[in-house]
Chain A
Amino acid sequence: DQQVKQNSPSLSVQEGRISILNCDYTNSMFDYFLWYKKYPAEGPTFLISISSIKDKNEDGRFTVFLNKSAKHLSLHIVPSQPGDSAVYFCAAKEYGNKLVFGAGTILRVKS
């Protein structure tokens, strides 16, 4: 039973355009959501997060939107750069100390 789903395995975007990565979840007890970026042969690195009491969080080129009623969040990258090409994981935290990850979306930014 996948509690966190990233339905797009891959996404290709032109440099300078917006990248939108989507994530759906089923567990209404999740209280915090995070996005991680992963390059090959490296561990995931934290990108941006959002608390369940907010609907938007922005950090430079990265913005995360949370729609609790739809149990949906999205990561917007504007403008996209070739260095953003990586696997992006959506993760959710329940009460406690465990993160539940989605399967990831491969983002390719073409120059």
Chain B
Amino acid sequence: ETGVTQSPTHLIKTRGQQVTLRCSSQSGHNTVSWYQQALGQGPQFIFQYYREEENGRGNFPPRFSGLQFPNYSSELNVNALELDDSALYLCASSSTQGAYGYTFGSGTRLTVV
């Protein structure tokens, strides 16, 4: 069974630009969650998608948005990038809406300059 894959692995963007990060969920998993991990901190919950609908959101502004597709893969979009958006973005999939049994991807390292 394949795990969670994220692309790209690394990305450099300029302040004010927009970025799209992608995630393929583990086979059999229908729920995808996104987390932001800033340097020296633990992952922070951005939002979760279940059946193509946003199903819970953390304390992030509306310029952070997402999509889930019928094959359960997902995108995270960030508009008007700020320097503080520089972080590791982690995608996690699970087979239920709960937080049990998360499988995390290796993440996308975003640097905003």
Residues of A whose CB lies within 8 Å of any CB of B are 4, 6, 32, 34, 36, 41-46, 49, 89, 91, 93, 96-104
Contacts and interface: CB of A to CB of B under 8 A. Distances in A.
24 contacts: A32-B100, A43-B90, A43-B104, A44-B90, A44-B104, A46-B101, A46-B102, A46-B103, A89-B42, A89-B43, A91-B42, A93-B98, A93-B99, A96-B56, A97-B31, A97-B55, A98-B58, A99-B35, A99-B99, A99-B102, A101-B43, A102-B42, A103-B40, A104-B42
Interface residues of B, number: 27
A4 B43 CA distance: 12
Highest count of chain B CB atoms <10 Å: which of A34, A41, A49, A99: A99
Interface string B23-60: 00000000101010000111111001000000110100
B66 interface: no
B43 A32 contact: no
A87 to B, nearest CB: 9
Given A97-B33, A103-B42, A32 B106 contact: no
Nearest to A49: B100
Q: Main SS of the interface on chain B?
A: loop
A97 B56 contact: yes
Contacts of B103: 46
Highest count of chain A CB atoms <10 Å: which of B43, B92, B98, B100: B43
B97 A101 contact: no
B31 to A, nearest CB: 8
Interface in B57-113: 58, 90, 92, 97-107
A6 B97 CA distance: 27
A5 to B, nearest CB: 10
